[in-house]
């Protein structure tokens, strides 16, 4: 058998060789016939295509295609054969691209002959929609895009191919800008009412990729009229239920992207009554798995920032229950009945799960009732827990996003989160995860470390401090915030042991670094951590005795620096906490410079800062404590009584009360 | 003729979807399989074939006539307000398949079918609670006036919460007749409800299931019943909440229930636009059903089906005498034509004469070509003669024509046109009222469409009309002069090249549907298919144009010729005598009497064209007669009286109506006219 087989292969190669040889015939008529025969031979025959490529047909075809002496028929047939070769495997595409087919075909578009242009475009289309082709090749020559725009008026075929090329090659905001600047919107908008479905569909896809996260494009789109009708209404019509699903879904995407870019208000009826219900429909069992994934992801994106849309979506067509079905693939039925279906289901199972998690995350990000509804869905917490440890990174990320969204619920933290010990897989996830997962996981951890969370204890015992401290050293501001935030939550009303461990592990050096962090919220959370560390008196004295000098330095620095009111208020609060300590008080009392600063802030224009500074003084002169007399005297000498007297007349009731209370310490 | 063959290769494709649909419906077994889980006993119609159909047809015809006469139960014009007109239009648009004579649609709450604690106001659309509201024993409900007809396919109504009252214990839903009204919908057997206080759904049970959000003052709650899969879903403020109930029984009434003082709700059964886009939802189901029909496998005997389809097309063409087209079609499809060429051409000639108003010649030709035919059909002969009299008044019949000083050519009022296609709308009383309104237009033909159609259909008529005003007398007689006409040059010029040959004209798709929807020729249509057409208001030249031309000398009796008038009066006497003779032989015939009276009445007016009976003079009135004569001839030749295509269409229409009766909701979206483009 093997003998015959090898003979066959030789046979095939021999005929392939013959096809290539004919391309070199001196008689142009014979060359043309050769190309036509080759065209007929390669259709649907991947083996033949590969053979011809290996035998070097491509450079010759390209040569013939580029020669103006070749004649229109020959050049066109060459483009057709090349297009056919491109229809084969990814390897074929790679070979064609390596032979510089793209510039050659783009050059061909300058021909005056429409039939040749169409053949070139068709081949270009096939090459560009392949994932192996670098899309940048479309933008290398700056004259290409304007020329393609001008060809859009030539024929339905050019319209179809060009819009398809655009929609596949518009991957970044730079690409969007290039296309936009060449009036893509104006050129493509009329195609939305083309008589050809393919043209309408590809034009629609163009708009979806152009508008994605692009305010400029989106803002332009709302003002575009197609045949006197606003574009948004054209999209709404394309979402009608008797339209093909692909069209409904893509039109819904366009409106979603325009809405997220701020071009359409979320309460407008085309969003609430059309786009949202359309996307919910796409999630139903009636649709293909790909469509369900796409629908859920788009819906998640649409409703993410708007609680009202989240509420509406949560009541539409039993969406929350409908999504539970996304976890049932591959189903037990498919495994038995149909191996092909099993394969298909398996391929989409991860995608389905991550899409469902994403949508649950969006749904539950604000409303407590929706969160309850989600956690009440069958096996939901179990699904999240197992999702956190799935092999697919996409699923893990989506699962932790979902968990994070649900962790904003006090009730869920107290109940389901604890019952399902979600902290365990979460802690596991935090080890060696990529940044995006880490951000979500650590953010979730912040919530789990809130004082009322029953998970706080076991997490503390699992030795999380070191991990969090390492997060504060990350390059990513989000991770630094989450790290310090978690530590702050952890330090709130914590045991001395925990606090000491935090300070010890973090190190004062790192603490200082965080206090000078370029990110303001990191600074705020660090101050918050300090405040939490310096709560109850024994803790204050203990920490100040070991790190007092550095902390006082840091406080001084911040108070002297150009900082926001909030930062300074937070810092003065720390000072007030220090002033509440027994021994720690001396660190302030012996620091005249600091006292002057406090005095300064007591007369500051911001009531918040006045109040915080007054707190600080009040703590220092508090009667029942050792040495209060001396402190009172010293502060009187420094003129604080006058200041307090003045503040007791302040218009702000809190401030005047606080000042009066402080004054009373002197009277007693 | 090659080009006609080429056209035919594309046309059958269009016909095919329609024909396939028809064939499927004829085979009732398939119909059941597609449309309804319920058993639809169509065996009588499928096994015994077309004969069984005629029984059904008789009933339906009667019904259709009744409907045609009454249409909708109209209110006194004085009280007839805009809202009701809106309501009627909306209901007609939403539920075109519903025959309100048989199954009226709910339009308000029933003042009779309610608990005493319920008060109604505002045309029985507003419901308020007037009991004590102490506990659930004080609950009260009201049903709509009628149950939801299955032919709706998808039914929808909305309720706006005007006030939630004390506790907002409101239930919105459905219940069968006879269910206790001292309860909220959903609590009892055959009762279903969605309650505002807890958002639960109640499916014939005192305990609810979590279903949707709660609702309160200002919310609009919709209830949609899908009669195709017997489910129900609700909407809140235009958002679908998902399926609430499945396996619903038939004949449910819209129902609301209230339980505490101050609760007020308003119903919208179509009086106002709905908040939820129900038509969009319907369009999805229409697409689904159409897809099912289009994809329905017709088995592996494809060739057989094709032969059936080709036969149907061919026999239709032959029936109407589209001789050249039929020959081309037969050649292209390599099929045989039953009737021979001369026979077809003879029929074609006779029909042409009738349609041209030359009835006398038509009678002569019939007697000559088909001796004994009219003798065996004295009634037909009488009707023909009556028409001949009318045409004499018109000045078109040759007996008066030849007396007038006219070129013989001008007698042909349909010069060069195919003449043969039976027009629809002939029996429409609105035809001459300027066509300003026809809300009862049952098949959704838009005015625009009919405008196009009429302008294509009457090309030469309008051209003749305008050419008559031209100064050249010689041009009056030639329809070819239409190129000089500028008033309607565009649609006609597209046709003008085709007018030279009847076979070309036949290719127009309109002719296909013309024959199908001919409301006037009840026997062709089995009377099941009512098609009414609206003519555009400004197009008064369509019907009258012919008359204008024929009586360009001021439109006088018999063309204003004295001798012709005398001949007409003499003919009238003969006609009178014929009637008396028929009465003696066959007994009194009221229809004949009326016909004769109407015809003679024309003479009582100085301007017969603008008199109460003037409609008789309209050329379109010739069409029913034309098809009756054609059928009679065919029957005499032992050929089918009606083309099989028409029978199939009638059968399909009857099947769809039968589906409505056996409560198969999909009939709403499987309407025959959806397939006739």
Of A241, A272, A273, the CB nearest to B281: A241
The per-residue pLDDT for A146 is 96
Alpha carbon of A248: minimum distance to chain B alpha carbons (Å): 12
Asked if B213's CB is within 8 angstroms of A316's CB, the reply is no
Provide mean pLDDT across the span A93-120: 94
Nearest CA to A417 out of A394, A393, A440, A447 is that of: A447
Asked if A273's CB is within 8 angstroms of B277's CB, the reply is yes
What percent of chain A has a predicted confidence (pLDDT) above 70? 97
Alpha carbon of A363: minimum distance to chain B alpha carbons (Å): 15
Cβ neighbours of B116 (radius 10 Å):
10
| Non-local CB neighbours of B429 within 8 Å, separated by 6+ positions | none
Alpha carbon of A124: minimum distance to chain B alpha carbons (Å): 34
- Mean pLDDT score of chain B: 71
The per-residue pLDDT for B19 is 56
Nearest CA to B422 out of B333, B529, B328, B336 is that of: B529
Asked if B212's CB is within 8 angstroms of A242's CB, the reply is no
Asked if B238's CB is within 8 angstroms of A273's CB, the reply is yes
Of B213, B238, B242, the CB nearest to A317: B242
Asked if A317's CB is within 8 angstroms of B241's CB, the reply is yes
Chain B residues within 8 A of A242 when measuring between CB atoms: 283-284, 286-287
| Non-local CB neighbours of A358 within 8 Å, separated by 6+ positions | A296, A297, A300, A398, A401, A402
Of B239, B283, B284, the CB nearest to A316: B239
The per-residue pLDDT for B185 is 96
| Non-local CB neighbours of A2 within 8 Å, separated by 6+ positions | none
B238 lies within 8 A of chain A by CB = yes
Cβ contacts below 8 Å, chain A against chain B, sum to 39
The per-residue pLDDT for A221 is 95
| Backbone torsion region of residue A318, taken as left when φ is above 0, otherwise alpha when ψ lies between -120 and 50, otherwise beta | left
The per-residue pLDDT for B24 is 54
For residue A460, the 8-state DSSP code is H
Asked if B241's CB is within 8 angstroms of A316's CB, the reply is yes
The per-residue pLDDT for B377 is 87
pLDDT 10s digits, A583-615: 888 888 888 888 888 888 888 888 888 888 888
| Non-local CB neighbours of A336 within 8 Å, separated by 6+ positions | none
Asked if B287's CB is within 8 angstroms of A242's CB, the reply is yes
Alpha carbon of A274: minimum distance to chain B alpha carbons (Å): 9
Q: Which two tokens stand for residue A21?
A: 């040889």
Asked if A240's CB is within 8 angstroms of B240's CB, the reply is no
Question: Residue A271's closest chain B neighbor by CA?
Answer: B239
Chain B residues within 8 A of A276 when measuring between CB atoms: 239
More confident: A664 or A137: A137
Chain A residues within 8 A of B213 when measuring between CB atoms: 315
B49 lies within 8 A of chain A by CB = no
Q: How many CA atoms does the CB half-sphere of A637 hold within 13 Å?
A: 8
| Non-local CB neighbours of A205 within 8 Å, separated by 6+ positions | A163, A164, A167, A250
Question: Residue B287's closest chain A neighbor by CA?
Answer: A242
Cβ neighbours of A95 (radius 10 Å):
19
Q: What is the mean pLDDT, run by run of 10 residues, along chain B of 677 residues? A: 37 48 47 33 32 37 41 45 84 91 94 95 95 92 95 95 95 96 95 96 94 96 95 96 95 96 96 95 92 79 75 86 85 81 86 87 89 87 88 78 50 40 39 36 37 38 37 38 40 38 37 36 35 37 39 58 80 87 84 85 80 82 87 85 84 83 80 73
> Quick check: B221 and B159 in contact, CB under 8 A?
yes
Identify the helix (H) or strand (E) that includes residue A281. Answer: helix A276-282
Chain A residues within 8 A of B236 when measuring between CB atoms: 315
Of A242, A312, A322, the CB nearest to B283: A242
The per-residue pLDDT for B142 is 97
Asked if B283's CB is within 8 angstroms of A240's CB, the reply is yes
The per-residue pLDDT for B303 is 67
CB-count burial class (<10 Å; 0-12, 13-18, 19+) for A596: exposed
Chain A residues within 8 A of B244 when measuring between CB atoms: none
Cβ neighbours of B64 (radius 10 Å):
24
Asked if A318's CB is within 8 angstroms of B284's CB, the reply is no
Binding-face residues of B in 549-588 toward A, CB within 8 A: none
Binding-face residues of B in 175-214 toward A, CB within 8 A: 212-213
B239 lies within 8 A of chain A by CB = yes
Asked if B213's CB is within 8 angstroms of A315's CB, the reply is yes
The per-residue pLDDT for B471 is 38
Residue B491's SS3 state is helix
Provide mean pLDDT across the span A486-500: 86
> Quick check: A508 and A472 in contact, CB under 8 A?
no
Of B238, B239, B280, the CB nearest to A241: B280
Question: Residue B243's closest chain A neighbor by CA?
Answer: A317
Q: Which two tokens stand for residue B123?
A: 């045309």
pTM passes above 0.90: no
As a three-state string, the secondary structure of B408-463 is HHHHCCCCCCCCCCCCCCCCCHHHHCCCCCCCCCCCCCCHHHHHHHHHHHCHHHHH
Question: Residue A369's closest chain B neighbor by CA?
Answer: B213
Q: In whole angstroms, give the CA distance from residue A634 to residue A636.
A: 5
- Mean pLDDT score of chain A: 89
Phi, psi of A133 (to 5 degrees): -85, 130
Task: Answer whether residue A122 shows pLDDT above 90.
Answer: yes
Of B212, B243, B277, the CB nearest to A315: B212
Q: In whole angstroms, give the CA distance from residue B403 to residue B559.
A: 9
Q: Which two tokens stand for residue A132?
A: 């192996």
Of A315, A318, A322, the CB nearest to B239: A315
3-state DSSP helix/strand/coil % of chain B, to nearest 5 = 50, 10, 35
Alpha carbon of B91: minimum distance to chain A alpha carbons (Å): 21
- Output the DSSP codes for B262-310: TEEEEEESSSS--SS-HHHHHHHHHHHHHHHHHH----S-HHHHHHHHH
pLDDT 10s digits, B263-305: 999 999 999 999 999 999 999 999 998 888 888 877 666 667 7
| Non-local CB neighbours of A147 within 8 Å, separated by 6+ positions | A109, A110
Q: If pLDDT is split at 50, 70 and 90, which confidence band does A10 have? A: low
pLDDT 10s digits, A457-490: 888 888 788 888 888 888 888 899 998 999 998 8
Identify the helix (H) or strand (E) that includes residue B203. Answer: strand B200-203
Asked if B241's CB is within 8 angstroms of A318's CB, the reply is yes
> Quick check: A498 and A460 in contact, CB under 8 A?
yes
Alpha carbon of B677: minimum distance to chain A alpha carbons (Å): 18
pLDDT 10s digits, A256-297: 999 999 999 999 999 999 999 999 999 999 999 999 999 999
Among A237, A241, A281, A376, the residue to mutate for chain B (most B Cβ within 10 A): A241
As a three-state string, the secondary structure of A595-647 is HHHHHHHHCCCCHHHHHHHHHHHHHHCCCCCCCHHHHHHHHHHCCHHHHHHHH
């Amino acid at each position: 058998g093997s003998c015959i087989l090898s003979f066959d292969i030789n046979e095939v190669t021999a005929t392939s060789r013959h096809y290539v040889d004919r391309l070199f015939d001196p008689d142009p008529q014979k060359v043309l016939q050769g190309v036509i025969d080759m065209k007929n031979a390669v259709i649907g025959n991947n083996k033949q295509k590969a053979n011809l490529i290996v035998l070097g047909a491509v450079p010759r075809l390209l040569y013939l295609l580029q020669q103006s002496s070749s004649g229109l028929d020959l050049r066109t047939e060459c483009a057709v054969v090349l297009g056919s070769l491109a229809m084969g495997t990814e390897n074929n595409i790679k070979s064609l691209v390596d032979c510089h087919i793209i510039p050659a075909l783009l050059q061909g578009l300058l021909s005056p002959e429409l039939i040749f242009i169409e053949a070139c475009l068709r081949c270009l289309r096939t090459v560009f929609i392949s994932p192996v082709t670098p899309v940048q090749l479309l933008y290398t020559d700056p004259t290409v895009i304007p020329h393609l725009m001008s060809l859009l008026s030539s024929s339905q075929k050019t319209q179809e191919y060009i819009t398809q090329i655009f929609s596949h090659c518009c991957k970044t905001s730079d690409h969007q800008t290039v296309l936009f600047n060449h009036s893509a919107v104006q050129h493509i908008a009329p195609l939305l009412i083309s008589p050809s479905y393919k043209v309408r569909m590809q034009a629609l896809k163009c708009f979806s990729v152009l508008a994605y996260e692009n305010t400029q494009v989106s803002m332009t789109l709302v003002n575009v009229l197609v045949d006197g009708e606003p574009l948004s209404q054209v999209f709404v019509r394309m979402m009608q239920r008797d339209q093909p699903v692909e069209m409904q879904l893509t039109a819904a995407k366009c409106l979603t992207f325009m809405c997220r870019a701020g071009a359409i208000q979320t309460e407008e009826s085309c969003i609430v009554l059309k786009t949202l219900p359309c996307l919910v429909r796409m999630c139903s069992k009636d649709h293909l798995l790909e469509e369900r994934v796409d629908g859920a992801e788009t819906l998640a994106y649409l409703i993410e920032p708007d609680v009202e849309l989240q509420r509406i979506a949560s009541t539409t067509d039993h969406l929350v229950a409908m999504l539970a079905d996304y976890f049932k693939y591959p189903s037990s039925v498919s495994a038995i009945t149909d191996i092909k279906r099993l394969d298909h289901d398996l391929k989409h199972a991860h995608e389905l799960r991550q899409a469902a998690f994403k949508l649950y995350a969006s749904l539950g990000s604000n409303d407590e009732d929706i969160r309850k509804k989600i956690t009440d869905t069958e096996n939901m917490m179990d699904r999240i827990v197992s999702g956190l440890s799935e092999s697919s990174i996409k699923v893990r990320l989506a699962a932790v996003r979902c968990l994070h969204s649900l962790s904003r619920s006090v009730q869920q933290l107290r109940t389901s989160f604890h019952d399902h010990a979600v902290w365990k897989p979460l802690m596991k996830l935090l080890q060696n995860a990529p940044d995006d997962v880490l951000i979500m996981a650590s953010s979730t951890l912040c919530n789990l470390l809130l004082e009322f969370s029953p998970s706080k204890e076991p997490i503390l015992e699992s030795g999380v401090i070191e991990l969090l401290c390492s997060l504060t050293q990350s390059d990513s501001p989000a991770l630094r915030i989450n790290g310090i935030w978690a530590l702050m939550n952890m330090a709130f009303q914590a045991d001395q042991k925990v606090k000491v461990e935090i300070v010890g592990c973090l190190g004062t050096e790192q603490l200082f670094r965080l206090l000078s962090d370029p990110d303001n919220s990191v600074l705020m959370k660090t101050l918050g951590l300090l405040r939490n560390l310096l709560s109850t008196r024994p803790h204050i004295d203990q920490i100040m005795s070991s790190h007092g000098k550095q902390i006082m330095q840091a406080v001084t620095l911040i108070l002297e620096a150009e900082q926001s009111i909030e930062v300074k208020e937070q810092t003065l609060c720390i000072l007030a906490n220090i002033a509440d300590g027994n021994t720690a008080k001396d660190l302030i009392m012996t620091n005249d410079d600091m006292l002057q600063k406090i005095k300064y802030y007591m007369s500051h224009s911001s009531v918040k800062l006045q109040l915080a500074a007054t707190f600080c003084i009040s703590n220092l002169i508090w009667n029942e404590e050792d040495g209060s007399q001396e402190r009172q005297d010293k502060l009187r000498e420094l003129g604080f009584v006058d200041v307090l007297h003045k503040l007791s007349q302040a218009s702000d009731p809190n401030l005047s009360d606080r000042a009066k209370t402080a004054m009373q310490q002197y009277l007693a | 003729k090659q080009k006609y063959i080429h056209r035919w290769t594309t046309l059958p494709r269009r016909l095919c979807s329609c024909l396939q649909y028809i064939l499927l419906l004829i085979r009732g077994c398939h119909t059941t399989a597609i449309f309804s889980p319920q058993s639809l006993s169509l065996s009588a119609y499928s096994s015994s074939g077309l004969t069984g159909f005629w029984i059904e047809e008789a009933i339906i015809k009667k019904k259709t006539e009744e409907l045609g006469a009454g249409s909708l139960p109209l209110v006194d014009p004085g009280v007839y307000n805009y809202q009701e007109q809106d309501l009627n239009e909306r209901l007609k648009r939403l539920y075109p398949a519903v025959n309100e004579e048989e199954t009226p649609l709910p339009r308000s709450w029933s003042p009779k079918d309610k608990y005493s604690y319920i008060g109604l106001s505002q045309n029985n659309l507003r419901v308020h609670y007037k009991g004590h509201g102490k506990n659930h024993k004080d609950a009260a409900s009201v049903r709509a006036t009628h149950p939801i007809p299955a032919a709706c396919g998808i039914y929808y109504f909305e309720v706006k919460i005007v006030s939630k009252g004390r506790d907002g214990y409101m239930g919105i839903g459905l219940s069968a007749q006879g269910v206790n009204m001292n309860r909220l919908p959903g609590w009892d057997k055959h009762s279903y409800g969605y309650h505002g206080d807890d958002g639960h759904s109640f499916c014939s049970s005192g305990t609810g299931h979590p279903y949707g959000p709660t609702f309160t003052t200002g919310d609009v709650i919709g209830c949609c019943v899908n009669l195709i899969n017997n489910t129900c879903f609700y909407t809140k403020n235009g958002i679908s909440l998902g399926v609430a109930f499945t396996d619903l029984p038939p004949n449910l009434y819209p129902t609301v229930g209230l339980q505490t003082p101050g609760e007020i709700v308003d119903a919208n059964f179509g009086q106002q636009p709905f908040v939820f886009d129900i038509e969009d939802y319907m369009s999805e189901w229409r697409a689904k059903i159409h897809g099912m029909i289009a994809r329905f496998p017709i088995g592996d005997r494809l060739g057989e089906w094709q032969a059936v389809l080709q036969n149907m097309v061919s026999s239709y063409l032959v029936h109407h005498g589209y001789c050249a087209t039929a020959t081309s079609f037969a050649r292209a499809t390599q099929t045989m034509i039953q009737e021979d060429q001369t026979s077809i051409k003879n029929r074609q000639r006779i029909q042409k004469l009738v349609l041209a108003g030359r009835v006398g010649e038509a009678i002569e030709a019939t007697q000559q070509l088909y001796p004994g035919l009219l003798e065996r059909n004295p009634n037909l002969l009488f009707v023909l003669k009556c028409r001949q009299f009318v045409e004499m008044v018109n000045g078109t019949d040759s007996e008066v024509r030849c007396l007038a000083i006219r070129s013989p050519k001008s007698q042909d009022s349909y010069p060069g046109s195919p003449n043969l296609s039976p027009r629809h709308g002939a029996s429409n009383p609105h035809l001459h009222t300027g066509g300003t309104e026809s809300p009862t237009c049952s098949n959704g033909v838009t005015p625009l469409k009919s405008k196009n159609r009429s302008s294509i259909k009457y090309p030469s008529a309008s051209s003749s009309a305008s050419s008559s005003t031209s100064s050249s007398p010689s041009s009056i007689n030639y329809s070819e002069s239409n190129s000089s006409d500028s008033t309607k040059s565009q649609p006609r010029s597209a046709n003008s090249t085709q007018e030279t040959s009847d076979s070309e004209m036949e290719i127009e798709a309109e002719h296909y549907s013309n024959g199908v929807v001919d409301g006037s020729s009840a026997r062709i249509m089995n009377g099941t298919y009512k098609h009414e057409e609206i003519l555009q208001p400004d197009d008064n030249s369509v019907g009258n144009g012919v008359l204008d031309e024929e009586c360009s000398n001021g439109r006088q009796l018999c063309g204003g010729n004295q001798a012709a008038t005398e001949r007409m009066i003499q003919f009238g006497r003969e006609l009178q005598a014929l009637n008396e003779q028929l009465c003696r032989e066959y007994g009194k015939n009221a229809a004949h009497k009326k016909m004769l009276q109407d015809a003679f009445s024309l003479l009582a007016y100085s301007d017969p064209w603008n008199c109460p009976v003037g409609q008789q003079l309209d050329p379109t009135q010739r069409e029913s007669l034309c098809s009756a004569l054609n059928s009679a001839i065919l029957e005499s030749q032992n050929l089918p009286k009606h083309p099989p295509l028409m029978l199939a269409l009638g059968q399909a229409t009857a099947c769809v109506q039968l589906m409505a009766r056996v409560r198969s909701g999909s009939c709403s979206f499987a309407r025959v006219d959806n397939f006739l483009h």
